[in-house]
């Protein structure tokens, strides 16, 4: 809104008889110590012709009011002094550059995990925007003021894809220049969350309450295993580049090193870095030559020739299935387990929320969000049980109505969360690799990996994979990523079944986790060979 210079139409000091009416309008912002402060009204005109009224206290712009809506909004100067004047949305570190350059906020940039939970927003609600600095464990901001284009419930149902917040005012725009041009504040994360605690400890604590101990411990142990290797990243980005980012007028032959630096590296996701020396191949030419070894029998991906002592690319195989299946660079699946608010649960949630938020029927809440509401209530009511204050509480009148337990009994916080969830409708939001969102009620279908003997009475073993399409996974793309493991083929007809010779259950599980981000709890493995006395060795070809 203020990214371009504006024209000041009028600027005047407010007379004493007009001052009370303006102060009444801003009273709900809890503005303090302004009775003796000078008050100015400035009317500006944007390049588009839109008129906006600014209210300056002591020469500092604290509020702005578009004439089209006649709604007062806080400026950054006001929100820096009162950061809780509006609900806050927290963005990932990578978003800073985009916001600084005048972009709006996309939903996938919004943080939704503890301690930076997505607040319960209504459409067109004004929000403050802060940026998380993960390295320094701080929060920058508020850095901007924006308007939500949809409600939180709608955001969740969309799979957190698309435009989320329109930025109205940001740090270092022309409205900021009208004031004293102060620097944006940076504070520790705990200054911004509702419950005073260390951010990492709070995240772990809420997860313990939401999912109980064993699930959190499993996630913690597996985090390091899911990191993508440099080899996997290079192969993925290269195939995507060949399929989508080669200009139609590209002239061949082309220096292999030039192709790598000009096209492959520029195709990297914005949060990824790639160094060829950290890969197994260490050199671009070695990698390109090795690609043909995984291209299949009598097939190839790239042809190279040495011209004047330089390795040159002379041809790409644009029709190879390993290339044509890479239509997206980040084919990640996001499965969100959440709960839809019902009439009974809405009353309980609103009664517990220390921020006095109202929850409409149909609003989607995550287990961690529900846990945060409960923990805030328990701490405020001082009903945490001493010695086990992080995980146990004493039942009061409200918690008795939720759990059915008598008052003054001791219960686990996790049990209270479960009782609340039983009063709500369980929903799964599945975001497919292509961005399509699917809502699955109550029960979710698993990917089934079946290891069994081939039909016909032979001792050959095969691996079959079912239900990939339920998560929007292309079976051909899975086969292309197996790098020559077994002999993958897609069943004819539906194209929804993957068949491989040999035992590949663990290989496929790792691929689904690393490449697609699919949690192992949505993968079901069945071995129908072990009960027949057959010794299984992972990835052993059939005899």
pTM: 0.49
Q: What is the pLDDT of residue 423?
A: 92
Tell me, yes or no, whether 89 and 177 share the same domain. yes
Tell me, yes or no, whether 70 and 128 share the same domain. no
Q: Is residue 212 part of a domain?
A: no
Tell me, yes or no, whether 130 and 185 share the same domain. yes
Q: What is the pLDDT of residue 202?
A: 61
Query: Tokens at residue 465, please?
Result: 């994979």
Other CB atoms within 10 Å distance of the CB of residue 121: 23
Q: What is the pLDDT of residue 204?
A: 64
Q: Is residue 439 part of a domain?
A: no
Give me the tens of pLDDT residue by residue for the chain, a chain 543 residues long.
899 999 999 999 998 888 888 888 888 787 877 777 899 999 999 999 999 999 999 999 999 999 998 889 999 999 998 888 898 999 988 888 899 989 999 998 998 876 677 888 888 999 999 998 877 778 899 999 999 999 887 887 787 888 999 999 999 999 999 999 999 998 765 455 444 344 455 666 777 777 775 444 444 444 444 456 788 788 888 888 888 778 877 888 889 888 888 888 888 875 577 888 888 888 888 888 888 777 766 678 888 899 988 889 998 888 877 777 666 666 678 787 888 889 889 999 989 988 777 788 888 788 888 888 898 898 888 898 865 445 788 999 999 999 999 999 999 999 999 999 999 988 887 877 766 677 777 677 889 999 888 776 567 888 888 888 888 887 777 777 765 554 556 555 444 678 888 888 888 888 888 778 888 888 999 888 865 444 444 444 333
Tell me, yes or no, whether 283 and 234 share the same domain. yes
Say which residues have a Cβ less than 8 Å from residue 459's Cβ, sequence separation at least 6: 453, 534, 542, 543
Contact between 118 and 155 under an 8 Å Cβ cutoff? The reply is yes
Question: How far apart (Å, rounded) are the C-alpha atoms in residues 178 and 64?
Answer: 12
Contact between 145 and 75 under an 8 Å Cβ cutoff? The reply is yes
Q: Is residue 284 part of a domain?
A: yes
Q: What is the pLDDT of residue 331?
A: 63
Q: What is the pLDDT of residue 330?
A: 62
Q: What is the pLDDT of residue 55?
A: 95
Question: How far apart (Å, rounded) are the C-alpha atoms in residues 394 and 377?
Answer: 12
Tell me, yes or no, whether 138 and 177 share the same domain. yes
Write out the residue range of the structural domain in which residue 346 sits. Answer: 335-428
> What is the b/e burial string over 349-365, where b = at least 16 CB atoms within 10 angstroms of the residue's CB?
beebbeeeeebeeebbb
Q: Is residue 537 part of a domain?
A: no
Question: How far apart (Å, rounded) are the C-alpha atoms in residues 83 and 139?
Answer: 12
Tell me, yes or no, whether 73 and 89 share the same domain. no
Say which residues have a Cβ less than 8 Å from residue 503's Cβ, sequence separation at least 6: 451, 461, 463, 536, 537, 538, 539, 540
Q: What is the pLDDT of residue 445?
A: 81
Beta bridge partners of 337: 428
Q: What is the pLDDT of residue 298?
A: 60
Contact between 231 and 278 under an 8 Å Cβ cutoff? The reply is no
Q: Is residue 91 part of a domain?
A: yes
Q: What is the pLDDT of residue 454?
A: 79
Listed residues 55, 77, 99: the one ending a domain = 77
Tell me, yes or no, whether 343 and 424 share the same domain. yes
Contact between 264 and 241 under an 8 Å Cβ cutoff? The reply is yes
Listed residues 324, 355, 389: the one ending a domain = 324
Q: What is the pLDDT of residue 9?
A: 95
Q: Is residue 391 part of a domain?
A: yes
Other CB atoms within 10 Å distance of the CB of residue 493: 7
Tell me, yes or no, whether 73 and 90 share the same domain. no
Listed residues 270, 304, 324: the one ending a domain = 324
CATH of the domain at 44: 3.10.450.120
Tell me, yes or no, whether 125 and 108 share the same domain. yes
Tell me, yes or no, whether 489 and 457 share the same domain. yes
How many domains does the chain contain in total? 5
Q: What is the pLDDT of residue 41?
A: 95
């Amino acid at each position: 809104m203020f990214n371009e210079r504006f024209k000041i139409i009028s600027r005047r000091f407010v007379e004493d008889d007009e001052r009370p009416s303006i102060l009444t309008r801003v009273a709900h912002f809890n503005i303090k110590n302004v009775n003796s402060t000078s008050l100015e009204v400035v009317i500006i005109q944007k390049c588009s012709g839109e008129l906006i009224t600014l209210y300056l206290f002591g020469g500092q712009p604290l509020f702005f009011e578009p004439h089209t809506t006649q709604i007062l909004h806080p400026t950054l100067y006001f929100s820096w002094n009162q950061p809780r004047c509006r609900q806050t949305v927290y963005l990932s570190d990578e978003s800073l550059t985009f916001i600084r350059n005048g972009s709006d906020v996309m939903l996938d940039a919004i943080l939704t995990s503890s301690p930076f939970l997505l607040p319960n927003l209504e459409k067109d609600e004004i929000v403050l925007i802060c940026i998380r600095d993960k390295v320094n464990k701080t929060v920058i901001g508020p850095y901007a003021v924006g308007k939500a284009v949809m409600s939180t419930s709608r955001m969740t149902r969309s799979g957190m894809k698309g435009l989320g917040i329109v930025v109205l005012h940001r740090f270092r725009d022309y409205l900021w220049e009208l004031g004293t041009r102060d620097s944006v504040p940076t504070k520790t994360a705990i200054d911004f969350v509702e419950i005073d605690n260390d951010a990492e400890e709070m995240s772990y604590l809420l997860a313990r309450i939401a999912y109980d101990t064993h699930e959190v411990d499993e996630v913690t142990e597996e985090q390091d295993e899911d990191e993508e290797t440099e080899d996997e990243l290079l192969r993925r980005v290269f195939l995507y580049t060949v399929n989508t980012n080669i200009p139609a007028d590209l002239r061949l032959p082309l220096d292999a090193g030039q192709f790598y630096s000009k096209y492959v590296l520029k195709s990297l996701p914005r949060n990824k870095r790639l160094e060829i020396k950290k890969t197994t191949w260490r050199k671009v030419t070695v990698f390109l030559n090795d690609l043909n070894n995984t291209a299949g029998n009598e097939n190839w991906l790239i042809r190279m020739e040495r011209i004047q002592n330089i390795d040159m690319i002379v041809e790409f195989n644009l029709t190879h299935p390993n290339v044509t299946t890479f239509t997206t660079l980040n084919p990640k699946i996001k499965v969100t387990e959440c709960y839809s608010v019902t009439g009974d649960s809405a009353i309980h949630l609103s009664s517990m929320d220390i921020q006095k938020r109202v929850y409409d029927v149909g609003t989607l809440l995550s287990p961690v969000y529900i846990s945060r509401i409960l923990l805030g209530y328990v701490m405020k009511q001082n009903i945490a049980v001493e010695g086990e204050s992080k995980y146990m509480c004493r039942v009061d009148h409200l918690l008795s109505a939720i759990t059915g337990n008598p008052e003054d009994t001791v219960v686990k916080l996790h049990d209270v969360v479960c009782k609340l969830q039983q009063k709500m409708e369980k929903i799964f939001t599945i975001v497919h690799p292509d961005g399509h969102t699917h809502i699955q009620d109550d029960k979710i279908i698993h990917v089934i990996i079946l290891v069994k003997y081939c039909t016909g009475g032979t001792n050959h073993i095969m691996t079959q994979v079912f239900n990939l399409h339920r998560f929007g996974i292309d079976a051909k793309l899975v086969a292309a990523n197996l790098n020559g493991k077994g002999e993958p083929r897609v069943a004819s007809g539906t194209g929804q079944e993957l068949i491989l010779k040999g035992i590949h259950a663990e290989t496929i599980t790792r691929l689904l986790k690393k490449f697609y981000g699919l949690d192992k709890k949505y993968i079901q493995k069945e071995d129908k060979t072990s009960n027949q006395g057959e010794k299984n060795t992972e990835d052993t070809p059939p005899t």
